[in-house]
C-alpha cells in the first residue's frame, strides 16, 4: 500500500473526479476527509464506501469558497484524524458563456470557487505542513488553463491561476519538504461534461488522439502517483491527463 495511514483532505469529492480520487487513495490505505456543497446523499454513500475499504472517512458540508468555514474544516479534520498529510484541491464548477454575455456573478463565482477554494484550503493547511516539515499538495487544473477554450474565460483564468499558484508555492515551500504539483485534465466523463452539446463533444473527440473522453479513475491514478513517495523528488510539476488532446 502506497499511502498506508496517511491522512488526506479532498475538496469536492461527492461526485466525479474527486470521488474517484478519494476511492483511489483509500485503496492505498489513506484516511479521507472530504467536503461537498449540495450532494449530501452521494457524500454519505461515499463515506460508507470508503469505510468499507478499511480506512477512516469523514464527509463535511463546507462551501470551499468560504475562507472561515474552510479553516474550521481543516482544524476539525486534524482533530478528528490526528493530523494531515495530503491536500487535494479538486472542487470546481463551470459557468461557460461568451465573454460578451458573461455577468459579473458568473465570473466571480467561478474564480471564488475554483481559485479562491485552492487558496482557502491550502492556506489553512500550509502552516501545519511547514511546522511538520512535511506535506503534499495536489491541485486539479485543466488543459483549458493551458491552451484556453472558447466560452471559458472565467474557468480558464481560474485553472491557469492554479498553475501559477502551484509553481509559486512549490518554490516557496520546497525547503520545508513540502511538494506542490498539479494535474491538468482534459475531457473527463463526469456531470461537468455531461451537459456539453453533442455537436461540441463530437468536434472535441475528433481532436483527441485516443478518440474518447477520459475516465475519472484515469485522473485519480495520476493523483495517487503524486501523493505517494514514488513521486518524492517531483514538485512544481503539471501532469497532463488528456488522451493527447493538447500535446505539444
Ligand atoms: P463534478 O462532477 O461537477 O463535481 C464537482 C465536485 O465539486 C462535486 O463534488 C461538488 O459538490 C464539488 N463542489 C462544487 N462547488 C463546490 C463548493 N463551492 N464547495 C464545495 N464543493 C463544491 O466535476 P468534475 O468533473 O469531477 O471536476 C472536478 C475537478 O476537475 C474540477 O476542479 C474541474 O474543474 C476539474 N476538471 C474536470 C474536467 C472534466 O472534463 N470533467 C476536466 C478538467 C478539469 P456537490 O456534489 O455537493 O455539488
Q: What is the CATH number of the domain that holds 129?
A: 3.40.50.720
List the residue whose alpha carbon is closest to atom 34 of ligand 1.
Answer: 92
pLDDT for 18: 99
**Mean pLDDT throughout 68-89?**
98
pTM passes above 0.85: yes
Res 38: pLDDT? 98
What is the per-residue pLDDT for 195?
86
CA distance linking residue 245 with residue 241, whole number of Å: 9
Q: How many Å lie between the centroid of ligand 1 and the Cα of residue 37?
A: 10
- As a whole number of angstroms, the distance between CA 112 and CA 4 comes to 33
User: Which pLDDT score, from 0 to 100, does residue 163 have?
Assistant: 99
Assess if residue 203 is contained within a domain.
no
Across residues 173-180, what is the average pLDDT? 98
Of all atoms in ligand 1, which is nearest to the CA of residue 64?
A: 19
Q: How far is CA 18 from CA 29, 188, 189, in A?
A: 17, 12, 12
Number of domains in the chain: 1
In percent, the amount of the chain with pLDDT more than 70 equals: 100
The secondary structure of residue 131, as a DSSP letter, is: H
Residue 131: inside a domain, yes or no?
A: yes
Mean pLDDT along residues 44-57: 98
Does a structural domain hold residue 208?
no
202 found inside a domain:
no
Instruction: Write the pLDDT tens digit of every residue in 194-219.
Output: 988 999 999 999 999 999 999 999 99
Q: Which residue has the cell 482533530?
A: 79
Question: Residues lining ligand 1, CB < 6 A?
Answer: 11-18, 35-39, 63-65, 90-93, 113, 140, 142, 185, 187-188, 190-193
Helix axes 216-227, 16-27, angle to 10 degrees: 50
> Would you say residue 221 lies in a domain?
yes
Query: Which residues are marked as active site?
Result: 155
**C-alpha grid cell, residue 98:** 461568451
Give the pLDDT of residue 107: 98
Whether 246 is in a domain gets the answer no
For residues 54-80, give the mean pLDDT: 98
What is the pLDDT averaged over residues 220-224? Answer: 98
Which residue range is the domain that position 86 belongs to? Answer: 7-188+217-241
φ, ψ (nearest 5 deg) of residue 166: -60, -50
Average pLDDT over residues 160-165: 99
Decide: residue 209, CB within 10 A, 0-12 exposed, 13-18 middle, 19+ buried: exposed
Mean pLDDT of all residues belonging to the chain: 98
84-128 pLDDT, tens per residue?
Answer: 999 999 999 999 999 999 999 999 999 999 999 999 999 999 999
**Within a domain: residue 18?**
yes
Q: Is the pLDDT assigned to residue 73 strictly greater than 90? A: yes
In a domain, 89, yes or no: yes
Amino acid at each position: 500500500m502506497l499511502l498506508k495511514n496517511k491522512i488526506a483532505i479532498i475538496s469536492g469529492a461527492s461526485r466525479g473526479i474527486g470521488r474517484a480520487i478519494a476511492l483511489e487513495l483509500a485503496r492505498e490505505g489513506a484516511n479521507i476527509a472530504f467536503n461537498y456543497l449540495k450532494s449530501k446523499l452521494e457524500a454519505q454513500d461515499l463515506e460508507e464506501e470508503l469505510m468499507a475499504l478499511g480506512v477512516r472517512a469523514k464527509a463535511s458540508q463546507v462551501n470551499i469558497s468560504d475562507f472561515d468555514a474552510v479553516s474550521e474544516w481543516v482544524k476539525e479534520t486534524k482533530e478528528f484524524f490526528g493530523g494531515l498529510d495530503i491536500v487535494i484541491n479538486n472542487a470546481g464548477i463551470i459557468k461557460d458563456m461568451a465573454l460578451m454575455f458573461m455577468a459579473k456573478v458568473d465570473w466571480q463565482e467561478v474564480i471564488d470557487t475554483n481559485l479562491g477554494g485552492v487558496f482557502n484550503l491550502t492556506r489553512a493547511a500550509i502552516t501545519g505542513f511547514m511546522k511538520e516539515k512535511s506535506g503534499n499538495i495536489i491541485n486539479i487544473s485543466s488543459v483549458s488553463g493551458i491552451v484556453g477554450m472558447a466560452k471559458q474565460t472565467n474557468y480558464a483564468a481560474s485553472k491557469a491561476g492554479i498553475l501559477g499558484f502551484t509553481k509559486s508555492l512549490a518554490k516557496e515551500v520546497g525547503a520545508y519538504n513540502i511538494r506542490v504539483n498539479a494535474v491538468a485534465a482534459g475531457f473527463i466523463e463526469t456531470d461537468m461534461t455531461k451537459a456539453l452539446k453533442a455537436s461540441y463533444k463530437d468536434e472535441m473527440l475528433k481532436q483527441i488522439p485516443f478518440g474518447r473522453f477520459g475516465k475519472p479513475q484515469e485522473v485519480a491514478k495520476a493523483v495517487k502517483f503524486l501523493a505517494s513517495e514514488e513521486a518524492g523528488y517531483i514538485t512544481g510539476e503539471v501532469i497532463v491527463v488528456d488522451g493527447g488532446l493538447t500535446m505539444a
